[in-house]
Structure 1
Amino acid sequence: MTITQDPSAPLVAVVGATGRQGGSVVQALIESDKAYRIRAFTRDGEKPEARALAALGVDIVVLSLVVANKDAVFDAFRGADYGFLVTNYWEHGDKEKETAEGKLLVDAAKAGGVKGIVWSGLPRVSEITSGKFTNVDHYESKALVTAYGRGSGVPFVDVQTGFYNSNFLIPLMGPMKQPDGSYAVSWPVKPTTRLPFIDIVRDYGLFVRRVLETDVFPDGEVVVTYGEVLSLAELAKQFSEGASASSQGEPIELTPCRQRRVRL
């Protein structure tokens, strides 16, 4: 473990440090051969994860990173060398709010004097589908923050996540038991379409660390993170083998998929 208070070591400010993405980043930095100072942002300093990090010498900053706390957010980034930034659309489901919070983080990191920003973004679906799909809000908001960050004048890298393996634990996203006792994985993709999957807690931070430890900070790059690439059919096969159960991958139409998501 190479957490230090030595001022010669780079200070990395990590948003969501007790969550899945930020927590993965902190752990990867702790495990690095290089020395780091880490400033970890969390809303609850009494969480077991926060206490464990504090015991390792991580600087814990208890703060809600929202627009209403703008001054405190700016103060929290002061003196950092690098910032890892992430927002959580699913906490509120508000595209405008997520966009505003993401821009706040960029502004605060810039004002704090960081030499580089690593942002957890996503592609803009409306753009890559030529306007066919315009309501994938959690992608759109992050893409808007990416564009804002790229125009900030601070070196900026977008480290995007693949599909979380842990999402299979979410109702209706994982395999669903059928009347005949088998299981089906139903997503709005063809069974042969290959998708990137990642163990977000174990692996995501390794990609961020690689960016931070590049000799020259790779301004402008987009890094797509994944541990393996699987089709829906391959995924169903793996589930069948691991669970000793029959399963199949089947596509569903976009409209019922969207309706189902709204009902959640």
Structure 2
Amino acid sequence: MSRSLTAAELPAAPATRGDRTVFALRGVGKTYARRNIEALGRVDLTLDAGTFSSVIGASGCGKSTLLKIMAGLVPPTSGSVMLAGRPVTGPRRDIGMMFQQATLFPWKTTLENIVLPIEIRDGRAAARVHHGNAHALLELVGLKGFEGVYPKELSGGMAQRAAICRMLITEPEVLLLDEPFSALDELTRDFMNMELQRICLQRGATAFLVTHSIPEAVILSDTVYVMSPRPGRIVETVAVDLPRPRTLDMVTTPRFGALVDRIRSHLDKGSFL
């Protein structure tokens, strides 16, 4: 079991929970003219510092398109995307992303994979300077002692924990998560969700998750955004008032069930499921 690290052992954490706006999207839309597809309608949402938010909806409703726009990978057709007071016009250093697969390079060790973003950005010498932070992050996620291990020797959950470290090593302003644990078995996924919560709370991270799982959205989030069928729009904003830290025991409580039912009712109305 990993211990809680002191503030001196970790990279600098973002600002205190909820004291400022990190992400602000106003009237964001996306149309693929060549295919005559309107993927997103007008989307408005705000992410405050230190909060965890999720977006949920059926396949094809525009969730991943929204995430790519927030990451600066795809430009919006309309509207504005602001991060830390500056427009997002392309990939930025203060945005961290995590995908469904860990995508670790098989010929690099765990440590080398974690510092790879810094090596690509600033060179090998700069990456070596960050080895100390990488070791601290590995301890944070319970991978101390696996620094020299290659990806083929890691389980799926361990590989995703290494991917979390790689995302955090650049100290991003916000974490964008594209169903990062969907390929894992149910027990491992539950464990990784609790690990993700612990890491986000410990670092004061601001996170935004794309998911198909209503229980996953509820157990992790402060706010759940429900999207309509294409063109995707936010049709309901659900505040999750469960206390933190969340535990898996909460899934059996009446309040958890009521929140799940509320979100599911909106999805059912749109013939999602």
TM-score, L = length of structure 1:
0.31
Looking at CA atoms only, which structure, 1 or 2, has the larger radius of gyration?
1
The structure, 1 or 2, with the larger RCO (C-alpha pairs under 8 Å, 6+ apart) is 2
